[in-house]
Structures are given as C-alpha cells and as structure tokens.
C-alpha cells in the first residue's frame, strides 16, 4: 500500500483528492490544509516555498511515498524548488488546463480563472505563450472564490454574485471554455456553470492530475493493494472548513 500525501492552502485540494481516490481507492491518504495561511494567492513566492518545504517534511514524516501539490499557486511558486530539494520524492503538481481548452474552443476565446500567483507563474506564462497565437486567452482572478469555499458558501446569492463578478468579463469576451486554475474553484462549479450557460464548457485538470499520480506510483512500483479506506486530515488552522468540505464529498 502506498501513502499519498496531498496539500493545499486549504480545502480546495480535496477536489483533487476526490479524483485520485476514484482511481486509487485502497491507498493511504494524508491531506494537509495550510488554512492558517490561506489564501496563498497574493502571498510571496518565498513564503509559499517555505510553507511547501515545511509541509513536505510533515507529509514525509507521516510516511508519504508521493506528494501531490493540490494547489496551482503552490505548484507555480514551489514545485521546482521542492523537486530540487527532495530529488528522491515524486511530486505531482497542478497547472491550468489551457491545452484542452485551446484545442476544444469553437469561439477561439478561452477564459482562465486562477489566483494572481498562478497567473504570474512562469510555467503558466510559458504554456499561455504556446497557445496564444492560435486562440485568445482571457484571464481573471476568482476574487473571493477561495473565501467562499473555505466558509462553506457553495450556493445562494452571495456565491452567485461573487462568481459572476469575475466570470462575466470572460463570458463578455466570448470565452466558450472556462479553465479552473485553482483547486478551490471546482467546488463552485455548479454556480459557474449556471452563470455561464450550456454553450460554455468548464475544464478542471483534476482528473488528469489523478491519472498522472497513478502513472508515477506505478512507475515507482508501489503495490496497489486492496485494503481498508484510510485518510488522515490535518490542518494548520481550525479544522471546521476541511471537515465540512470532506463531509460534502
């Protein structure tokens, strides 16, 4: 049995856990929410790198064989330094799914919702550069989305108003594909889809990240045994939000 360590600034990474556990139901999971420091979106790269190292140490201490950085912002800021600092540890990271959106768009416009940190990241900028000759890429920070999810507000007028404010500019620009570039945002997907309407496809990279996790585990020859379901939920702040979202799953 493998131990899969997963972390995020908060509960958002559970949207990635949800996809991994579909493919690997019998592994042991340790999930860490750094909610005492959430949101990461506007924090400095150095701060996030320090947190990512501390959390990696903690997850390795709990026996993690692989670490899923279930946070686009932390991936953008820290995954390269993590891979350098822990060369023996397999890391899986997140990246906004620009490619499937660019290949699928009919209108020629794709919208990316992410945090400021992710949109500034060199990996995202490079990917964007590869596709922006062929399609128009419009971006917006999902202002207040992380706070909605952390507070368990996944529907109702406040959720609709907050989501609309960041999504509408992308729809007005003609986007027919909306890329969810932050792991908190899938929990708002029903609201996003209701506002965007049926002509717009919402794209979440979590299923692809789950497949990549399976590939890396198999490559490392970890036994994929049957066994009892096991997850440990840890957080640096109050556990309420994490427990609330986990109960939802």
Which positions are annotated as active-site residues?
71, 182
Binding track over 99-118 against ligand DGL, x by CB under 6 A = ----------------x--x
Using the Cα atoms of residue 81, residue 184, residue 32 and residue 18 in order, give the sign of their dihedral: negative
Q: Contact between 40 and ligand DGL (CB under 6 A)? A: yes
236 makes contact with ligand DGL (CB under 6 A): no
Q: Which of 49, 184, 192, 236 binds ligand DGL (CB under 6 A)?
A: 184
User: DSSP states of 83-121 as a string?
Assistant: HHH-TTS-EE-----HHHHHHH-SSSEEEEEE-HHHHH-
Kindly calculate the radius of gyration of the chain based on its CA atoms and give it in whole angstroms. 17
In this structure, are residues 96 and 72 in contact, taking their beta carbons and an 8 Å threshold?
yes
119 near ligand DGL, rule: CB under 6 A: no
Q: Determine whether 147 is exposed, middle or buried from the number of CB atoms within 10 Å of its CB (0-12, 13-18, 19+).
A: middle
Question: For ligand DGL, which is the closer residue by CB, 49 or 176?
Answer: 49
Query: Between residues 94 and 222, which has the closer beta carbon with respect to ligand DGL?
Result: 94
Site for ligand DGL, rule CB under 6 A = 8-9, 12, 38-41, 71-73, 94, 115, 118, 146, 182-184
């Amino acid at each position: 049995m493998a131990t899969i360590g997963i972390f995020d600034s908060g509960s958002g990474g559970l949207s990635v856990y949800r996809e991994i556990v579909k493919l690997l139901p019998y592994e042991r999971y340790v999930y860490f929410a750094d909610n005492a420091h959430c949101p990461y979106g506007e924090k400095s790269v150095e701060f996030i790198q320090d947190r990512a190292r501390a959390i990696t140490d903690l997850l390795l201490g709990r026996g993690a064989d692989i670490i899923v950085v279930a946070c686009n912002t932390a991936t953008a800021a820290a995954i390269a330094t993590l891979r350098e600092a822990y060369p023996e540890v397999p890391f899986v990271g997140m990246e906004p799914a620009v490619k499937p959106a660019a290949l699928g768009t009919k209108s020629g416009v794709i919208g990316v919702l992410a945090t400021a940190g992710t949109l500034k990241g060199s990996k995202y900028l490079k990917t964007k550069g590869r596709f922006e000759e062929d399609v128009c890429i419009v971006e917006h920070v999902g202002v207040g989305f992380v706070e909605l999810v952390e507070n368990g507000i996944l529907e109702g007028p406040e959720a609709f108003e907050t989501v609309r404010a960041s999504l509408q500019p992308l729809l007005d620009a003609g986007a027919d594909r909306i890329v969810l570039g932050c792991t908190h945002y899938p929990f708002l997907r029903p609201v996003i889809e209701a506002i965007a309407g049926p002509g717009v496809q919402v794209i979440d990279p979590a299923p692809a990240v789950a497949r990549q996790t399976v590939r890396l585990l198999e490559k490392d020859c970890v036994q994929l045994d049957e066994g009892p379901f096991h997850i440990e939920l840890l957080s640096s702040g109050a556990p309420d939000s994490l427990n609330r979202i986990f109960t939802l799953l």
